[in-house]
Amino acid sequence: MLIDLHTHSTASDGTDSPAELVTAARAAGLDVVALTDHDTVAGHAAAAEALPPGLTLVTGAEISCRLDGVSLHMLAYLFDPTEPELARERDLLRDDRVPRARAIVARLNELGAPVAWERVRELAQGAIGRPHIAAAMVEAGIIEDVSAAFTAEWIGDGGRAHVAKHELDATTAIGLIHDAGGVAVFAHPLAWRRGRVVPDAAIAQLAAAGLDGVEVDHIDHDAATRDRLRGMAADLGLLTTGSSDYHGTRKSCRLGEHTTSPEVYAEITERAKGARPLTAAG
């Protein structure tokens, strides 16, 4: 059983439409794929509609959070998408991305980088994010590739043109996810190459707040980091997952590059009360 619990579509900053994503997931030999777009469930219906036989869809989202001033991502699985409190927070997070992206583009323009807001807006078909701005910067010839945007010079965390987005307190997020019947897994907790990460004590604090698991096998964790995180998870009684964090052509990771064990997947579906995994009808 190949189980990949973290992917993005054009509903946020991936490049495959939700239908293309589930098709590609089956072609890659996956049995289970979770669609976890940033701060939105907008891709779920189209993914479910296009679900190929033999593939199970786990509905989810990757929620933008903050803890003690550090940005982090919380994966939420199989919550009830109509539960109003979590839906309201998701909408706030998604909607605030628009003025924030506009502010980043304005700063880039002040720095003399000719990025057109209209083009950024066009590149984002769903929840808008820095990858869309980075893509517009590449198109405009300002930088060579998308990764060059995520630096101190441009729009990396704390960079010259970086503007923070609205983020949900991580402890609050866990409560809201649970209240909506979902399961909460801390995404790439120690991905230090991307920016600041939380101290170990924060993971213990989130575990005490009911966190279900941590994503261990992830492209942004090296082998030593994975070992350390697995040890912490064992001590704290947390589930451990693995996933590709697939973004289509926007990142180098392949679908199924990292996977979650059938035992952990079974435990996640057992705990989830807000939605069931979906399989193709007929």
φ, ψ of residue 230 to 5 degrees: the values are -60, -40
User: Binding pattern to Fe ion, positions 76-115, x when CB under 5 A?
Assistant: ----------------------------------------
What are 42's strand-pairing partners?
none
**What b/e string do you get for 92-114 counting C-beta neighbours within 10 Å, with b at 16 or more?**
ebbebbeebbeebbebbeeeebe
Binding site for ligand AMP (CB under 6 A): 13, 38, 129-131, 146-147, 150, 165, 194, 247
By CB under 5 A, tell whether 245 contacts Fe ion: yes
* Single residue of 26, 44, 66, 73 touching Fe ion by CB under 5 A: 73
Q: Are 221 and 249 in contact (CB under 8 A)?
A: no
Q: Are 243 and 2 in contact (CB under 8 A)?
A: no
With CB cut-offs between 5 and 8 Å by kind, which of ligand AMP, Fe ion, Zn ion, none does residue 189 bind?
none
With CB cut-offs between 5 and 8 Å by kind, which of Zn ion, Fe ion, ligand AMP, none does residue 187 bind?
Fe ion
With CB cut-offs between 5 and 8 Å by kind, which of ligand AMP, Zn ion, Fe ion, none does residue 276 bind?
none
Binding site for Zn ion (CB under 5 A): 8, 13
The closest alpha carbon to 244, from 185, 170, 188, belongs to 188
With CB cut-offs between 5 and 8 Å by kind, which of Zn ion, Fe ion, ligand AMP, none does residue 94 bind?
none
Q: Are 6 and 30 in contact (CB under 8 A)?
A: no
Q: Supply the minimum distance, in Å, between the C-beta of residue 282 and ligand AMP.
A: 35
Structure tokens at 117: 């807001």
Side-chain-side CA neighbours of 254 within 13 Å: the count stands at: 7
- Binding residues (CB under 5 A) for Fe ion: these are 62, 73, 187, 245
